[in-house]
Amino acid sequence: MDVPGFDIALVRTPSVWTEEPRKQHSYLTGQFLETFSTFTETFGDIFAEDAGDIDIRDSIHSDRILLTLIPAMNTSQHTTSAL
């Protein structure tokens, strides 16, 4: 996938990057903000870092696939589809 303004040849020298890739990264981060805040606020007891029921680090470091059923009764259809 191409990121506007990003030059792969300059990947190791971020000091010479233009501002456009940084803007694009900010837009992408903003798109995930609602999803991540739902995980931390609504489902925080499941995904909490220090006391959650799921060890996300173990899933990532062990190359495991994690499937989670999300209860949709308390969320809107838009929020559920974003998850």
Q: Which two tokens stand for residue 24?
A: 């694009």
Q: CA 40 to CA 4: how far, in whole Å? A: 31
Position 2 in a domain: no
In a domain, 17, yes or no: yes
User: For residue range 24-45, what is the model confidence (pLDDT) as tens digits?
Assistant: 888 888 888 888 787 777 777 7
13 belongs to a structural domain: yes
> Is 35 a domain residue?
yes
Q: Which domain holds residue 33?
A: 8-82
Domains in the chain, number: 1
Q: Is residue 47 part of a domain?
A: yes
Q: What is the DSSP letter of 51?
A: T
Residue 33 in domain? yes
In a domain, 3, yes or no: no
What is the model's pLDDT at position 48?
66
Q: What is residue 52's predicted lDDT score, i.e. its pLDDT?
A: 64
Residue 58 maps to a domain: yes
Pair 83, 67: CB distance under 8 Å: no
